[in-house]
Structure 1
Amino acid sequence: MQIKAVNIRIPLLALAGIAVSAQLYAVQAHTIDVDQLTVAVQSEGEGDSSSSSASHGHGHGAPPQPRETVGATDQSMLHAEEVHLRNIRQLTFGNFKDDPQIAAANYAEAYWAPDGRSLILQAAVNEFPCDQVFRLDLLTGALELISSGEGRVTCSYYTADMQHYIYSSTEFNNGPECPPTPDFSRGYVWPVYESYDIYLADINTGEVLENLTDNPGYDAEGTIDWNSGWLYYASKQHDDIDVYRYNMNTQERERLTDAYGYDGGPFINYDGTKIVYRRSMFKDQAEEDDYRALLADNLIRPGVLELWVMDSDGSNKRELTNDGAANFAPYLHPDNDTVVYCSNRHAPDGRNFDVYMLKLSQPEMEPVRITWDEEFDGFPMFSPDGKYLVWCANRNGSVTGETNVFIAEWVD
């Protein structure tokens, strides 16, 4: 499989990196040169990434021409209430092929590399009708397709050596076509495709090296502890979806949750000691019966999801939220106390999600709202040094419903 390079006009972000150990699943301490990033953030137009993609990646022929960026790329994209964010920058700008037959672009789940120089993300963009894996180079602005372009993918994540990545895909169990969309006559539901397995791939060639799960049920939502090589993920087994972990060095596999109901979206913190994840909570037997019936058809209803934390071995489980909202995509700051996540707690019956913050050390703390846009903000992730937040949002889109990637300095 060839890696395809595409180019998009993105303000340069000069991030300096770290030394990474030679081992695939172990990484040294994380540091980013803040001065370089700050200068780049304050100097829009300094340099042009449009010439960099010709030698970046392994695609054939000339990459498509970038379209002009849309809207502001400065502090005007922040709302007055967003006091924990500074020097916001928009990193993606929707579809860059002006083809009216192409749906609104959707970039999601942008996760940092260990050295802070790039992001790995999923996107349905241009000619790809369902999500594929891309790598976004923050030094050059080059955006590369690194998955095959076939099937549907989700939940990509770097390994510690940054030469490999993991992702979930339907391609190998379901073929090159996109899987069917869920039946929304049953309400707003998420598909949990049985054809999803988690794969390890070479990030430079796209070669799939190993099926890490090889389970007949749903396997996705994977993240990696860069210190130990444990892969944390959600898996449908025993007629339920639970959090599991798999050691990529020893092939040891463990089930970490067993209470009935959906447990998923596990994120391991940077030192490999804590997992934050989401759980479906049933207020009565009718809701549990609904979950059981939907799961039989490989669907779940994400109406109420509460956040929990546990130790990396599954011990010491503790509830973090109990507000009846849809809370998901939690991520721990390197301080091992601050958690950011996505929630509609300000309007639980609506679709407007924002980023919130809570503290593990303050269980009685009212969650703090971080983003205040009228449209979606979610999938937050702190940089390895904790100084930046990356997230995905509908703000400043060229068309309604377009989701792009944003970065800002984090202000305590």
Structure 2
Amino acid sequence: MVERHRIFRVTVIAVLLSILPAASATALRPQSSGRNLSPQSTVLSPESLSEPHLANIRQLTAGGKNAEAYFSHDGRKLIFQSTNNWTTGESATWPLSSDEQLGCYQIYVMDLELGRTRLVSTGVGGTTCGYFFPGDRRVLYSSTHLAGLHCPPKPKREGRYRWALDDYDIFSVRVDGQQIQRLTTTKGYDAEATVSPDGKTVVFTSVRDGDLDIYTMHLDGTHVQRLTHEIGYDGGAFFSPDNRRIVYRASYPRDPAEIEQYKSLLARNLVEPSQLEIFVMNADGTDKRQVTANGASNFAPFFHPDGRHIIFSSNVDGRGRSFHLYLIRDDGSRLERVTFSGTFNSFPMFSPDGKQLVWVSDRSATKPGEFNLFLADWIP
């Protein structure tokens, strides 16, 4: 039973670790959602009184797989990834809804005030991990389009779910999709990139030195520095509001057999994370501290604007049955569950002023495998 739950944890977490390419994709065409609803018309109720931190919950998308939504610095827009072909123009209004499915994720920017969305990635290859630069005129994301126009193939199932480390590079582009600039040029996986609040530094995960480690670089891709050196996966990094610390997730093999298995898979550009814990370190890689130690799958951490709390997703309650959002102090104390509705809640981000929370959930899903974006007012 323990082994079954462990396998289930890996399978579910892999679904929305944003690295789920499929068979093929073609260039995108303009696609209307077919609906004309304002953001205010889709307010949902929290799950009775069990979600006291959430109010005025709004569903922003409807159908398909939508993930990793992150606020612009002015709090008026979201960048997100989706397998749906929403639009290349400004005709789609939300809740975004489309029956046309792409083979893999593309990156979009949603205007929360106007209810419009725009494609910002190239529309070919696989993409992941969009994020705004300060000023909100440019964004970054990772893409495989230089390696091929089709979605990267899925790895062969051999028991447990294995996550493919495809040949992603990190790119910068204007919010209208123009003036694309390549920031990484090393062969292999460069992804999971975010930007410091002061706009000076990009933090990302790369396999360039033979392991999955966290690095920083300047906005133009220069001055690359490696921050982690432990054997295992380090990724999903975000800066603290004061730019001084980084929160991230990590999975480390625990004995010689696991180390050998990890290295064997890595040589085949695969990773099979099981337990994931949350860590915090200084922005230069020093003073690493473990925040969670529950043996579950803990991921998608993000700092609250107060710099003292971290919100993240975990299956610590139920051990594989469902993932929910939790709030914890940065010293690992005062763990509090935030969500109770649905079976998958993850990729949370606070608005810059701390008044709103955006996240991904399967609540209100109409079919299995559907994940949508939700926005709520945050009640301290």
> What code does the residue aligned with 2:297 have?
A
State the alpha-carbon separation in 1 of the partners of residues 35 and 348 from structure 2: 23
Select which of 193, 204, 224 maps to 2:176: 204
> Which residue does 1:398 correspond to in 2?
366
> Which residue does 2:74 correspond to in 1?
115
Contact 2:134 2:199 survives alignment (8 Å): no
- Per the TM alignment, residue 406 of structure 1 is displaced from its structure 2 partner at its CA by 0.2
> Which residue does 1:355 correspond to in 2?
325
State the alpha-carbon separation in 2 of the partners of residues 79 and 211 from structure 1: 47
Contact 2:194 2:202 survives alignment (8 Å): yes
The reply on whether 1:76 has 2:42 as its aligned counterpart is: no
Contact 2:296 2:314 survives alignment (8 Å): yes
Give me the identity figure in percent: 39
> Which residue does 1:152 correspond to in 2?
126
> Which residue does 2:336 correspond to in 1?
368
Alignment of 1:165-314 (within 5 A): 165-173=139-147, 175-193=148-166, 195-208=167-180, 210-248=181-219, 251-314=222-285
State the alpha-carbon separation in 2 of the partners of residues 250 and 152 from structure 1: 21
For each residue in 1:34-56, what CA deviation from the matched residue of structure 2 results, as whole angstroms up to 9, or x when unmatched? xxxxxxxxxx44xxxxxxxxxxx
Closer, same or farther: CA 8–392 of 1 in aligned 2, 3 Å: farther
For each residue in 1:122-158, what CA deviation from the matched residue of structure 2 results, as whole angstroms up to 9, or x when unmatched? 0001242210001111011112222121100000111
> What code does the residue aligned with 1:239 have?
G
SS at match of 1:307: strand
The reply on whether 1:106 has 2:79 as its aligned counterpart is: no
State the alpha-carbon separation in 2 of the partners of residues 400 and 393 from structure 1: 12
The reply on whether 1:407 has 2:380 as its aligned counterpart is: no
Contact 2:61 2:372 survives alignment (8 Å): yes
Computing the radius of gyration over CA atoms, which structure comes out larger, 1 or 2?
1
State the alpha-carbon separation in 1 of the partners of residues 351 and 358 from structure 2: 7
The number of aligned residues is 339
SS at match of 2:264: helix
- Per the TM alignment, residue 380 of structure 1 is displaced from its structure 2 partner at its CA by 0.3
State the alpha-carbon separation in 1 of the partners of residues 231 and 251 from structure 2: 9
> Which residue does 2:97 correspond to in 1?
none
> Which residue does 2:87 correspond to in 1?
none
Q: CA RMSD in A?
A: 2.0
State the alpha-carbon separation in 2 of the partners of residues 387 and 8 from structure 1: 31
- Per the TM alignment, residue 245 of structure 1 is displaced from its structure 2 partner at its CA by 0.2
Closer, same or farther: CA 76–248 of 1 in aligned 2, 3 Å: closer
For each residue in 1:286-321, what CA deviation from the matched residue of structure 2 results, as whole angstroms up to 9, or x when unmatched? 222221111111111121111100111111110001
> Which residue does 1:135 correspond to in 2?
109
For each residue in 1:369-402, what CA deviation from the matched residue of structure 2 results, as whole angstroms up to 9, or x when unmatched? 1111241110000000011110000110122221
The reply on whether 1:339 has 2:307 as its aligned counterpart is: no
SS at match of 1:290: helix
State the alpha-carbon separation in 2 of the partners of residues 228 and 351 from structure 1: 39
TM-score (norm 2): 0.84
State the alpha-carbon separation in 2 of the partners of residues 299 and 11 from structure 1: 42
SS at match of 1:148: coil
TM-score (norm 1): 0.78
The reply on whether 1:388 has 2:362 as its aligned counterpart is: no
SS at match of 1:179: coil
Contact 1:134 1:146 survives alignment (8 Å): yes
> What code does the residue aligned with 2:296 have?
A
State the alpha-carbon separation in 1 of the partners of residues 256 and 248 from structure 2: 23
Contact 2:169 2:191 survives alignment (8 Å): yes
Give the unaligned 5+ runs of structure 2.
1-26, 85-99
For each residue in 1:162-187, what CA deviation from the matched residue of structure 2 results, as whole angstroms up to 9, or x when unmatched? 111111001112x1101001222241
Closer, same or farther: CA 315–149 of 1 in aligned 2, 3 Å: same
SS at match of 2:293: coil
State the alpha-carbon separation in 2 of the partners of residues 142 and 6 from structure 1: 10
> Which residue does 1:52 correspond to in 2?
none
> What code does the residue aligned with 1:135 have?
V
Contact 2:131 2:193 survives alignment (8 Å): yes
